[in-house]
Amino acid sequence: MELTINNDMNPKVTIATITYNSSRYVRQSIESVLAQSFTDFEYLISDDCSTDGTWDIVKEYKDPRIRAWRNETNLREYPNRNKTLFEAKGEYIIWIDGDDIFYPHGLEYMVKMLDAFPTSVMACARPHWDNMIYPYELSPKEAFRYEFLGSPILVNGFPDTLIRTRELQAINGFPTDIISGDTHSKRLLACKSNVVLVNQQVSWWRRTPGQASSRLHALGGVLNTYNSSLSILENDDCPLDASEILKAKEFLRIGMANYLIKNQFTHGRLISVFKVSKLLKLKLSDFYKAIKKREFFYITGSGTDPLMLDFSKNPYAPNYEH
């Protein structure tokens, strides 16, 4: 069921909102998008066959930038996100879901940053980090060293990530069989393209029961994430060298061993520990390192001497050089 179609739009950005029984919060989400200081965007709203009053609320908004529809059947999260992705006309795309809030300056800031780094496939808004001053552009190898050998940098949420639309479409969007499908797709994009990390605080998102993130810590979710990470490391385009890939796989095993000790063994689920250990071929040394809490982090920069770009690379600086 289509509400509004505007085929004449050629926007800089596509903002997409997916909704399902979001009537309690969706009005705030929509109005936060419409309140953006940066106005060159189309706004896609895909209601996933809600059974509450969500669709009635969506229909109240008549802004010409809105294209909204209600799915005839419930597609679920990632198929619904992919539907908005392949409807998108913008150069960039960002998802602000039906329970998120986008700060009025958020889009303007994110667009300015991604424009300033044309070789980056996405801008990821990140919290304060002692080792880095934002904005900072990472090569594929640098990004993967952080992601798999240090502190992950691609696990930020949808409302904190602005992505080049065509590049995400080229990898067919998000997989539908991976709980953290967005992280999986961002890692695929980062295999071949730079990533720019920027300051956080462009959006606010709710933690609600049933979100994908709430399922990640269950055994099935942890296994799903483990296999997703392994497939990325075994991808032909993985930018790490052979020795780094071996070390990254070891870290995955240690992480899984740590999870099994804390979340399965201590609760008396010995059969689960045995089955998962056998399935993933975990070694006794993996459990030993998990118990000893031996951490092997790839970290460059420090709180006193952090990584940073020259100020001329910051688009807010008066001497900015594109």
- For the chain, give the percent of residues with pLDDT over 70: 93
Lowest mean pLDDT among 97-106, 204-213, 259-268: 204-213
- Residue 5's pLDDT is 47
Residues 205-210: what's their mean pLDDT?
Answer: 72
Residues near 64 by beta carbon (within 8 Å), at least 6 away in sequence: 4, 6
Lowest mean pLDDT among 9-18, 95-104, 312-321: 312-321
Cis peptide before 239, with omega less than 30 degrees from 0?
Answer: no
Question: Using one digit for the tens of pLDDT, what is the confidence trace for 56-79?
Answer: 999 999 999 999 999 999 999 999
CATH number for position 78: 3.90.550.10
Look at residue 75 and tell me if it is in a domain: yes
Look at residue 315 and tell me if it is in a domain: no
- Residue 219's pLDDT is 83
User: Does pTM surpass 0.85?
Assistant: yes
User: Which domain, by its residues, includes 224?
Assistant: 212-292
d(CA 107, CA 14): 10
Name the more confident of 293 and 26: 26
- Residue 187's pLDDT is 98
- Residue 266's pLDDT is 82
Output b/e per residue, 211-236; b: 16+ Cβ within 10 A. Answer: eeeeeeeeeebbbbbbebbeebbeee
Mean pLDDT, the chain, integer? 91
Look at residue 123 and tell me if it is in a domain: no
Domain termination site, one of 82, 102, 122: 102
Q: Is 115 exposed, middle or buried (0-12, 13-18, 19+ CB in 10 A)?
A: middle
- Residue 268's pLDDT is 84
Give the count of domains, the chain.
Answer: 2
Q: What are 132's strand-pairing partners?
A: 129, 307
